[in-house]
Amino acid sequence: MPGEVPLRGRNLGDLAFKTLLTIAAIAIPALLAFLVWELYLGSKLAIERYGLGFISGTNWDPVAEEFGALPLIFGTLTSAAIALVIAVPLSLGVAIYLTEFAPKWIRQPIAFVIELLAAIPSVVYGLWGIFVLIPLLRTAVFPFLRDTLGFLPLFQGPIYGNSMLAAGIILAIMVMPYIMSVSREVLLAVPTSQREAALGLGATRWEAAWTAVVPYARSGILGAIILGLGRALGETMAVTMLIGNRHEIAASLFAPGYTMAAVIANEFTEAATDIHFSALTYVAFTLFFVTVLVNAAARLLIWRVSRGRPSGGQGV
Amino acid sequence: MADRAPPDAPRIRAAGLTAFYGAFAAVKDVTLGFGANQIHALIGPSGCGKSTFLRTMNRMHEVVGGHVTGQVLLGNEDIYAPGVSRTRLRRRVGMVFQKPTPFPTMSIYQNVAAGLKVGARLPKARVDEIVERALQQAALWNEVKDRLHTSAVALSGGQQQRLCIARTVAPEPEVVLLDEPTASLDPQGTQRIEELLFTLKAAFTIIIVTHNMQQAARVSDTTSFFYLGSLIETGPTKQIFTAPAVEQTEAYITGRFG
Amino acid sequence: MNRLGWRRWKSRVMVGLMMVAVVVAVAPLVMILATLVARGAGSLNLAFFTQIPVPAGETGGGVAHAIVGTLLIVGTAALLGLPIGIGAGIYCAEYPTARLAVVARFVADVMNGTPSIVVGVFAWTLIVDVQKHFSGLAGSAALAMLMVPMVLRTTEEMVRLVPHSLREAALALGYPRWRTSLSVVVRTCLPGIVTGSLLAIARIAGETAPLLFTALGSQFMSRDLDQPMAALPLTVFTYATGPYDDWHRIAWATALVLILVVLVLSLLARLATRQRFGSRG
């Protein structure tokens, strides 16, 4: 009975299986290439008409067919910078506390709760921002900042509520979970011997964490921060709802501004001329390239620390 | 190395077999046959090529990127001839690994029946019969007959390994390869496996790689000693352990190296 | 001695500051959830789930159209995105060193960081601009594109967690490679793949930006994917930015429903991995 299986034979199942998987895998780079191509085609008109002057122009007037994206780029970078200034110390504090100091039983629940923040849809942040955060900022926080730090141009001028600072603050809340969870992963990957060596030399627990553990994970933490930056640059809804949507470059953080993502969200359905569509697509194209560069840098840094392990970053 | 196949016509036989990983030859020009219904032990220090040699018998070394020159004849068919299907070959030459590998998502019953899935479709009653027979052969039936449909990973290590043996023998292969099957078991588990090997040899040709010389001496009919990828000596177990012909063999079995 | 005292004191202060950071970090979540419940829960009644909106100025009505729209758009996106994401993920795990796997993995990371609004523009040029009308399907395409890279990475990681010994055991039984892969390897890590898929679905269910100029939104019940369609996040956006108090009330209630959908999906995802495979080798 056993000898009945002939040795020769072909296996069509394997061929079909590999073919299907290969098609799925090819679809990924194909989709991205297609995306780049479509964005290029869409923005071709504007690229030909405005070239790189698009990036340095400050006037945005669809009726006069003038499109300068500098205020958008400024707003995108400024709101992201505010977000990082607030979110980085907070997320690092939490990440270091959770890996080095917190009682064991509390670590998982806190990390879980903070990662839940990443699951909240952007539009819900926007809603909360409009009705809870903005009133709070307008009536309490902004006046306080103007009274105490008003000597800086950043905190001068009329208070609107919807503003660059409001957008930056909501972005900070939104990117914090990403920075926190990636930093935490990176810190967890630091070998225990690092801590023990420092403690053995008589360092306090804080000194051990700050001088032995954190520097070891430095480039991974930097990667986490840049990953957060990537998120902040491309974030759309909450920013659109809070930033005030005005094409101007203001010194004061209390003034409204605009971002690249927000202008696409606001104007795409209203655009009436081909050149307006094309200009908006040009903005999308530029935004795409900036985020690709930022993310590539982040991945590289994280990969250097946690070599071998596939990098996290979407760990919700 | 001279051709010293066991007396009776070998069930499976390597002829001038060299096995490579990349450019590295892990097994060098081995000619060795294995008679039916016997237990054959392969011994030698770690890294000597005995496991690689075993894996060339059902082309499992190719899974990790190895290749061979030379032949392995099953009956009188070369298993490396073009057009030979590895999956069909492995249904005739089964293998048990060092660590127990029950499929965690399957019940005990499903594990034993797993190898039947790739053959001709069998009626349920026939599968029931085969599962019971295989578990009997693996000396596990009495312990699990009342919980055939529970998870296989709940079994002890020794039970898991006997389950893997049952899974391997269920499709009735001609040859059963065992790669250090007791290396991860306690002495009691080891003893159970050794006992069941004696019953299994009535039905199969068994080749076992072991790092444990006492085990080779206890269970096998023939023993082959490998060193640095070459077959140094082969013969009836008693002869190898009492009167080895080659000095290296003697050095190894008396514990002077390895 | 004095110096040591100062260092100990500093250590204690820093730990205190970090605990403050934890509180500050957790506070927004608590505040957001509390406001959602406080302002949204009161409006949740049967009509809210079964009716479509009434004209502006009148009170009552519901968001049944948006619930149906979200189910259809997200469901279609999952049908489009999951096979590609899971298939490509298995490819990357099965042939980890193949050039295509390296490329697909890298591109997935790039796509993962691509702003969703950009993907929306892509779907617009691809479908809306060609068909000359907005459609739920265009929204599904955008969302599918967003979920593919997430699903790919989790699938690959999960498949790679399965011990190699299981694969060998199946191959040694004479399983062909495809069968080894599906009925042993993938089957073993299926809970993990389900978790990854559910998390990806939860994530796209809350996406608004890519739907703005694809699905567009609607005030009416539509079950035709070739037509503009409402979705929960779009409804939150429209009503939150509108001028009427009653709209704001609906926005809060809709946001509460949306967050419940997202949280339930995330929770289901965690339950799926609860029964993890036993011995990990």
How is chain A split into domains, by residue range? 50-306
Return the beta strands (E) in B90-239 as ranges.
93-96, 175-179, 205-209, 222-227, 230-236
Please name which of C228, C225, C247 lies closest in space to residue C238, comparing C-alpha atoms.
C247
Q: Residue B88: its chain C contacts at CB < 8 A?
A: 174
Interface of A with B (CB under 8 A): 1-3, 5-11
Query: Locate tokens 């609004």: which residue?
Result: C117
pLDDT of C274 reads 64
Question: Edge-to-edge strands of the sheet including B66-74?
Answer: B24-35, B10-21, B66-74, B77-78
Q: Are the C-beta atoms of A71 and A249 separated by less than 8 Å?
A: yes
- Name the nearest CA neighbour of A249 among A261, A259, A262: A259
Burial of A131 per CB tally in 10 Å (0-12, 13-18, 19+): middle
Rounded to whole angstroms, the Cα distance separating B16 from C185 reads: 36
Q: Distance (Å, rounded) from C-alpha A311 to C-alpha A303? A: 6
**What are the pLDDT digits (tens) for C11-57?**
999 999 999 999 999 999 999 999 999 999 999 999 999 999 988 77
The neighbours of chain B, by the rule of 3 or more Cβ pairs under 8 Å, are A, C
pLDDT score of C270: 83
Alpha-carbon distances, residue B111 vs B94, B144, B178 (angstroms): 15, 12, 18
Q: For residue A69, which of A52, A83, A82 has the smallest C-alpha distance?
A: A52
User: Which amino acid type is present at position C270?
Assistant: R
Q: At A21, is the pLDDT very low, low, confident or very high (cuts 50, 70, 90)? A: very high
> H or E stretch including B77?
strand B77-78
Handedness of CA C87, C92, C93, C98 (dihedral sign): positive
> Residues with Cβ < 8 Å from B191, sequence gap 6 or more?
none
Instruction: Give yes or no for residue A314 having a pLDDT over 50.
Output: no
**pLDDT score, position A111:** 87
Inter-residue contact A207 to C13 (CB < 8 Å): no
Q: How far is CA C222 from the centre of its chain?
A: 23
Provide the chain C residues 162-191 that lie in CB contact (below 8 A) with chain B: 163, 165-176, 179, 183-184, 187-188, 190
Mean local confidence (pLDDT), C52-76: 92
Shortest Cα distance, chain C CAs vs residue A93, angstroms: 5
The predicted structure's pLDDT at residue A114: 86
Closest CA to C231 of B43, B193, A121: A121
Superfamily of the domain at C46-280: MetI-like (1.10.3720.10)
Residue A299 has a pLDDT of 81
How confident is the model over C205-224, as a mean pLDDT?
Answer: 95
Per-residue model confidence as pLDDT tens digits over B166-181: 999 999 999 999 999 9
Do residues C207 and A125 make contact, with C-beta atoms less than 8 angstroms apart?
Answer: no
C-alpha to C-alpha distance for A231 and A83, rounded to whole angstroms: 10
Could you tell me the residue ranges of all domains in chain C? 3-43, 46-280
Q: What per-residue confidence (pLDDT) applies to A309?
A: 46
Average pLDDT, chain B: 93
Q: Residue B90 contacts by C-beta under 8 Å, 6 or more apart in sequence? A: B58, B59, B60, C171, C172, C173, C174
Structure tokens given for B220: 């096998």
- Give the whole-angstrom CA distance, residue A188 versus residue A182: 10
Q: Mapping DSSP to helix (H, G, I), strand (E, B) and coil, where does residue B155 land?
A: coil
Reply yes or no on whether the pLDDT at B68 is more than 70.
yes
- Residue B8 is predicted with a pLDDT of 59
pLDDT (0 to 100) of residue B257: 65
pLDDT at A302: 78
Residue B110: pLDDT over 60: yes
Distance (Å) from the C-alpha of residue C167 to the closest C-alpha of chain B? 9
C158: closest CA of chain B, how far (Å)? 15
| Residue C276 clears pLDDT 70, i.e. is over it | no
Residues A50-79 as b/e (b if ≥16 CB within 10 A, e otherwise) read beeebeeeeebebeeeebbbbbbbbbbbbb
Contacts of C172 in chain B (CB under 8 A): 58, 60, 90, 94-95, 97, 168
Confidence of residue A115 (pLDDT cuts 50, 70, 90): confident
**Mean pLDDT value of segment B207-221:** 95
CB contact under 8 A, B88 and A10: no
Per-residue pLDDT tens digits for B79-88: 999 999 999 9
Beta B77-78 vs B66-74: how paired, if at all? antiparallel
- A234, C118: Cβ pair inside 8 Å? yes
The whole-angstrom separation of Cα C163 and Cα C180 is: 13
Q: What tokens were used for A233?
A: 């640059």
User: What does the pLDDT read at residue A77?
Assistant: 96
Q: What is the pLDDT of residues C166-205, one digit of tens each?
A: 999 999 999 999 999 999 999 999 999 999 999 999 999 9
Q: Is residue A46's pLDDT more than 70?
A: yes
Surface of B (175-214) touching C: CB under 8 A: none
A259, burial (CB in 10 Å: exposed 0-12, middle 13-18, buried 19+):
buried
ipTM for the assembly: 0.93
| Confidence (pLDDT) at B182 | 94
Give the distance from residue C19's alpha carbon to the nearest chain A alpha carbon, in angstroms: 7
Tell me the CATH architecture of domain A50-306. Answer: Orthogonal Bundle (1.10)
pLDDT given for residue C280 in this prediction? 34
Task: Please say if the pLDDT value at position A41 is more than 70.
Answer: yes
Contact A7 B87 (CB under 8 A): no
pLDDT class of A311 with cuts at 50, 70, 90 = very low
Q: pLDDT at residue A103 above 60?
A: yes
**B145 Rama sector, left if φ>0, alpha if ψ -120 to 50, beta otherwise:** alpha
pLDDT band, residue C2 (cuts 50/70/90): confident
Residue A8 and residue B84: Cβ atoms within 8 Å? Answer: yes
Judging by beta carbons within 10 Å of its beta carbon (0-12, 13-18, 19+), is residue C263 exposed, middle or buried? middle
Average pLDDT, chain C: 93
Q: Could you tell me the pLDDT band of residue A79, with boundaries at 50, 70 and 90?
A: very high
Supply the pLDDT for residue A124. 97
pLDDT tens-digit series, residues C106-139? 999 999 999 999 999 999 999 999 999 999 999 9
Task: Report residue A231: phi and psi, to 5°.
Answer: -60, -45
Find the mean pLDDT for residues A50-75.
94
Residue A306 pLDDT: 61
Query: Is the CB of residue A111 less than 8 Å from the CB of residue C26?
Result: no
As a whole number of angstroms, the distance between CA C210 and CA C123 comes to: 8
Give me A36's structure tokens. 């780049």
